[in-house]
């Protein structure tokens, strides 16, 4: 199953992913339309920074890891939070932890917010005004999640664990073999492949 | 990261935190992480087809904007526009003074006068206005008109440029095409050439930006001249600093912003309204303090305390004791009227600088005194609303010697050699007692600990026997840390520097050395330091680019600091910046600013966030110049 992976070295902290995510989870799905909606849409991806307030700030987009087993599912009393696994539009298989379409409706108790080790669940108003647990659903209406498409530097990768691990391996192997002459950034090489 | 090392700031940041009040530091944290495209200068919004962004890593993202501009062009255009912003600000300040002088000359500004006739005549002679047989108002009118003409386009180079730099500098500027046709035209030209489809050669854009910045220098020189003529050239004056200068038993009024046009009149009226303040329950009357550069203007002319700098302006309100802040323009936070739970009356005065939530009392030179009284009346009313339970003034006050204009530095030097005041300075530079001169300028920047770089760097440089001049927020910062005192010289100056400052201080009757840093004015007054460098260069028959003189803006924040830094480079000075400007997206632009500029102009930028490393780079730059001069 494809997941979101982030390459922190490519994250500029521009927060374009946050805006794209919020827009995708609005009713109109357009920036202008979303800004005019009575309930402002909520992002489900968060750009965080570990900063000394100066020049070596490390930035990283953080999103749901869709853990398995997922602490949020285990903690959900009404069993709203669940794992979906349905073949849907565009041929994309979505295997996302979500609380939309669960056994019962979310009661906004916040248990999942407490349990998520990554802080990736917000207790906030959905576009219909109902307060509930909002989190990444891997954009079920899209072939590629909105954040991935929006990222200007390609810092968010939508891939299976194997694919991503392979990319990391090949990057590391270049570094370890000392083949730095191939380019100033090993990432350049990888992309050119 | 610590927010500040200034004790009064720390005291009030604790109070703010306890009361749950957000300040600039909290707003900065809320912005983190900041967008990397903006940080590197790789975002362009100069046309409606944008915004465009260049991928700083060059991996998968775009290498060109929609129009075809590459990273170099986009970064250069952005930098040029920020220099134009800085230049426009100083130029507006200068024009304001010229208009005031023009109104005075027509008898329309009764609260103003020519307060320094000596400087008035000196400037008239310098700019070539014939004095014989003309009345003071006539001469003032001619001077003001000539000043205003500097801003439009002429065939001749700006008068305040060609009469204040060395011949060598002027020749370099002419050769490189860096002489602006007029000061406003320099700004307009940058706006033109950086709009879509005009200048698309990064180096050429940077040259245009430097031309604009040379206009900035010219306007600033003019502004300082006119301020001195209208309000008096600063003379050494003992004053105080820090937020501890606010008084519990007085109506506390801060003048804040940059232009002395209004604050000078407020100073004059405050004494007149003292009884009203006393009657309102403030036995100590009206206590005027300064924030930012308006504060420094009245500090160096009247010894008014400098309460704090622009970065910590909100903290003055959080003392609970500030009854009114009268603001003009530049570096005034839009947040001031919204510091929750405090009574401070924020009074805007300029038609071009209103703030939602503030009280606006429009200032006109024609009714200056009347307006100042109205403003002070509002402050007295606000005092009556002060909540004593909320008052907590940090017990931090430092002495500060201010008012060391170029003229007063020369007067002090003349005590050692009345016939040739510059000679003692030159002798001590040659013999190494003074290893070099460094001008500290620029702002505080919320991205780094307030004042830390200023204080760390001055200690390093003073220990290396480098004579320190300071302006603007640098001067305010040193004042807050007790570094504008003889005691600081005793503690931190290297032996050669200490000997020189002691000889000068004793000759001046201070009974001790001059302060560790010489407070040469507000941030618009940086040309005071430049004029000393030019005088020394002329006397030695060299160019300013050969002198062992450097500049630094360790905590730069504003566009004005960018334009000042750029003209400092144009004057030939190695110029250090402690905060990385948004140019790193273009290796070419970085190279031009830090290397190529040296070949073209003699001056260049040194970007170094570490104080010790910055100090050693500045010392190296001075050493190179000393070697060049054979000393």
Per-residue model confidence as pLDDT tens digits over B141-188: 999 999 999 999 999 999 999 999 999 999 999 999 999 999 999 999
Among the residue ranges A161-175, B79-93, B272-286, the one predicted with the least confidence is A161-175
In chain A, count H helices and then E strands: 7, 10
Banded model confidence at residue A89, pLDDT cuts 50, 70, 90:
very low
Helix (H) or strand (E) holding B238: strand B237-241
- Give the residues across from A15 on adjacent strands: none
Q: Is pLDDT at B79 greater than 90 in this prediction?
A: yes
User: Is B447 an interface residue toward A (CB < 8 Å)?
Assistant: yes
Q: Which residues contact A15 (CB under 8 A, 6 or more apart)?
A: A47, B33, B35
Give the model's pLDDT for residue A172.
Answer: 87
B438 pLDDT more than 50: yes
- Confidence class of residue B495 from pLDDT cuts 50, 70 and 90? very high
pLDDT at residue B334 greater than cutoff 70: yes
Q: How far apart are alpha carbons B218 and B195 in whole angstroms?
A: 25
Average pLDDT over residues A124-146: 93
Is residue A51 pLDDT above 70, yes or no? no
* pLDDT reported for residue A6: 95
Which tens digits make up the pLDDT trace of B467-476? 999 999 999 9
Cα(B145)–Cα(A128) distance, integer angstroms:
65
Of A47, A54, A153, the CB nearest to B33: A47
Q: Do A153 and B60 count as a contact with CB atoms less than 8 A apart?
A: yes
How high is the pLDDT of residue B348? 98
Distances (CA, A) of B440 to B309, B431, B437, B499, B601: 15, 23, 10, 21, 20
Q: What is the pLDDT of residues B52-64, one digit of tens each?
A: 999 988 777 899 9
A59–B36 C-beta distance less than 8 A? yes
Mean pLDDT over residues A89-114, rounded? 83
DSSP annotation of B64: B
**Which B-chain residues 559-588 have CB contacts (< 8 A) with chain A?**
580
| B36 in reach of chain A (CB within 8 A) | yes
Per-residue pLDDT, A84: 86
Dist CA B600 CA B577 (whole Å)? 20
| Beta-strand relationship, B345-348 and B359-360 | parallel
Quote the minimal CA–CA distance from A51 to chain B in Å.
8
Examine the pLDDT at B207 and tell me if it is beyond 80: yes
Nearest CA in chain A to B36: A12
Band (pLDDT 50/70/90 cuts) for residue A87 is low
Distance in angstroms (rounded) separating the CA atoms of residues B594 and B569: 10
Residue A49 Cα, gap to closest chain B Cα (Å)? 5
Whether A182 shows a pLDDT value over 80: the answer reads no
| Range with the largest mean pLDDT of A47-51, A149-153, B296-300 | B296-300
CB proximity under 8 Å: B 56-75 to A: 56-62
- Per-residue pLDDT averaged across A170-174, rounded? 85
Residue A122 CA from chain centroid, whole number: 13
Alpha-carbon span B503 to B507, nearest angstrom: 6
Average pLDDT over residues B408-428: 95
- Model pLDDT, residue B108: 97
Picking from B36, B58, B449, the nearest residue to A13 by CB comes out as B36
Set of chain B residues whose Cβ sits within 8 Å of the Cβ of A7: none
Whole-number mean pLDDT of chain B? 97
From the CB of residue B486, how many other CB atoms can be counted at a distance below 10 Å?
19
Q: Could you report the per-residue pLDDT of B12-29, keeping only the tens digit for each?
A: 999 999 999 999 999 999
Question: Across residues B549-569, what is the average pLDDT?
Answer: 98
* B-chain residues near A47 (CB < 8 A): 33
Q: Average the pLDDT over A86-90 and give the result.
A: 52
**Taking the CB of residue B374, how many other CB atoms lie within 10 A of it?**
14
CB B478, CB B519: distance < 8 Å: yes
Partners of residue A62 on adjacent β-strands: A46
**Which of A14, A18, A58, A183 is most worth mutating to test chain B (most B CB atoms within 10 A of its CB)?**
A14
What beta strand segments (E) does B478-614 contain? 517-521, 549-553, 574-577, 604-607
**Average of per-residue pLDDT across A175-183:** 62
CA atoms within 13 A on the CB side of B315: 30
Q: Please tell me the predicted confidence (pLDDT) of residue A189.
A: 45
Residue B322: is its pLDDT beyond 90? yes
Quote helix, strand, coil % in chain B, to nearest 5: 50, 10, 35
Distance (Å, whole) CA B301 – CA B227: 10
Is A49 close to B609, i.e. CB distance below 8 A? Answer: no
Whether B33 has its CB under 8 Å from any CB of chain A: the answer is yes
**Helices B183-193 and B202-231 meet at what angle, rounded to 10?**
150
B53 and chain A in contact, CB less than 8 A = yes
Q: Does A55 touch chain B (CB under 8 A)?
A: yes
Q: Does B34 touch chain A (CB under 8 A)?
A: yes
pLDDT of A13 > 50? The answer is yes
Percent of the residues in chain B that have a pLDDT greater than 70, as a whole number: 100
A41 band by pLDDT with thresholds 50, 70 and 90: very high
pLDDT at A191: 45
């Amino acid at each position: 199953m494809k997941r979101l992976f982030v390459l922190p070295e490519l994250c500029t902290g521009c927060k374009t992913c946050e805006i794209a995510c919020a827009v995708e989870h609005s009713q109109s799905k357009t920036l202008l339309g979303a800004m005019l909606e009575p309930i402002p849409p909520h992002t489900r991806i968060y750009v965080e920074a570990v900063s000394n307030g100066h020049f070596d700030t490390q930035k990283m987009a953080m999103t749901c890891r869709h853990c398995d087993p997922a602490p949020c599912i285990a903690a959900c009393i009404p069993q709203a939070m669940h794992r979906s696994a349905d073949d849907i539009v565009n041929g994309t298989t979505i295997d996302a932890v979500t609380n939309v379409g669960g056994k019962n409706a979310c009661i906004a108790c916040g248990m999942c917010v407490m349990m998520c080790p990554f802080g990736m669940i917000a207790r906030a108003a959905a576009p219909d005004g109902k307060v509930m647990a909002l989190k990444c659903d891997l954009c079920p209406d899209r072939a590629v999640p909105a954040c991935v498409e929006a990222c200007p530097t390609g810092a968010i990768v939508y891939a299976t664990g194997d694919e991503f691990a392979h990319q990391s391996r090949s990057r590391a192997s270049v570094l370890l073999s000392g083949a730095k002459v191939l380019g100033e950034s090993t990432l350049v090489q990888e992309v050119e492949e | 990261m610590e927010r500040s090392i200034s004790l009064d700031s720390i005291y009030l940041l604790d109070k703010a935190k306890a009361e749950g009040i957000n300040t600039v530091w909290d707003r900065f944290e809320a912005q983190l992480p900041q967008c990397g495209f903006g940080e590197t200068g790789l975002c362009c919004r100069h046309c409606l087809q944008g915004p465009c962004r260049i991928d700083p890593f060059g991996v998968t993202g775009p290498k060109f904007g929609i129009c075809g501009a590459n990273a170099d062009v986009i970064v250069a255009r952005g930098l040029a526009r920020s220099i134009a912003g800085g230049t426009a600000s100083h130029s507006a300040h200068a024009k304001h003074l010229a208009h005031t002088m023009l109104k005075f000359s027509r008898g329309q500004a009764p609260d103003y006068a020519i307060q320094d006739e000596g400087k008035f005549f000196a400037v008239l002679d310098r700019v070539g206005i014939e004095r014989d047989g003309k009345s003071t108002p006539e001469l003032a009118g001619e001077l003001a008109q000539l000043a205003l003409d500097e801003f439009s386009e002429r065939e001749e180079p700006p008068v305040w440029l060609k009469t204040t730099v060395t011949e060598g500098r002027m020749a370099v500027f002419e050769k490189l095409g860096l002489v602006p046709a007029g000061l406003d035209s320099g700004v307009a030209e940058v706006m033109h050439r950086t709009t879509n489809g005009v200048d698309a050669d990064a180096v050429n854009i940077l040259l245009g930006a430097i031309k604009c910045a040379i206009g900035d220098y010219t306007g600033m020189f003019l502004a300082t001249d006119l301020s001195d003529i209208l309000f008096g050239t600063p003379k050494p004056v003992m004053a105080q600093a820090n937020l501890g200068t606010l008084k519990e038993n007085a109506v506390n009024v801060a003048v804040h912003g940059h232009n002395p046009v209004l604050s000078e009149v407020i100073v004059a009226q405050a004494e007149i309204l003292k009884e009203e303040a006393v009657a309102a329950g403030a036995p100590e009357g009206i206590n005027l303090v300064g924030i930012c550069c308006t504060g420094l203007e009245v500090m160096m002319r009247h010894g008014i305390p400098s309460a704090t700098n622009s970065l910590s302006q909100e903290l003055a309100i959080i003392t609970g004791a500030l009854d009114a802040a009268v603001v003009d323009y530049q570096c005034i936070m839009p947040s001031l009227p919204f510091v929750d739970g405090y009574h401070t009356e924020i009074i805007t005065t300029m038609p071009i600088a209103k703030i939602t939530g503030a009280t606006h009392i429009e200032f006109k030179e024609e009714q200056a005194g009347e307006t100042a009284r109205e403003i002070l009346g509002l402050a007295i009313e606000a005092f009556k609303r002060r909540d004593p339970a909320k008052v907590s003034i940090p017990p931090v006050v430092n002495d500060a010697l201010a008012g060391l204009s170029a003229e007063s530095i020369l007067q002090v030097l003349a005590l050692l050699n009345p016939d040739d005041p510059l000679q003692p300075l030159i002798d001590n530079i040659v013999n190494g007692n003074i290893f070099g001169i460094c001008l500290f300028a620029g702002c505080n920047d919320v991205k780094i600990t307030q004042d830390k770089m200023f204080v760390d760097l001055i200690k390093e440089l003073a220990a290396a026997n480098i004579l320190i001049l300071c302006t603007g927020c640098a001067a305010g910062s040193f004042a807050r840390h007790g570094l504008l005192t003889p005691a600081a010289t005793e503690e931190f100056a290297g032996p050669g520097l200490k000997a020189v400052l002691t000889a000068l201080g004793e000759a001046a009757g201070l009974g001790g050395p001059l302060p560790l840093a010489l407070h040469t004015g507000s941030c618009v007054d940086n040309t005071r330091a430049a004029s000393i460098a030019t005088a020394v260069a002329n006397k030695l028959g060299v160019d300013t680019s050969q002198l062992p003189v450097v500049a630094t803006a360790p905590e730069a924040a504003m566009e004005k600091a960018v334009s000042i830094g750029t003209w400092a480079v144009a004057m030939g000075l190695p110029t250090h910046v402690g905060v990385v400007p948004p140019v790193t997206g273009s290796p070419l632009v970085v190279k031009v600013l830090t290397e190529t500029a040296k070949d073209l102009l003699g001056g260049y930028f040194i970007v170094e966030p570490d104080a010790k490393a910055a100090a050693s780079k500045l010392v190296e730059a001075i050493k190179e110049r000393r070697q060049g001069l054979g000393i």
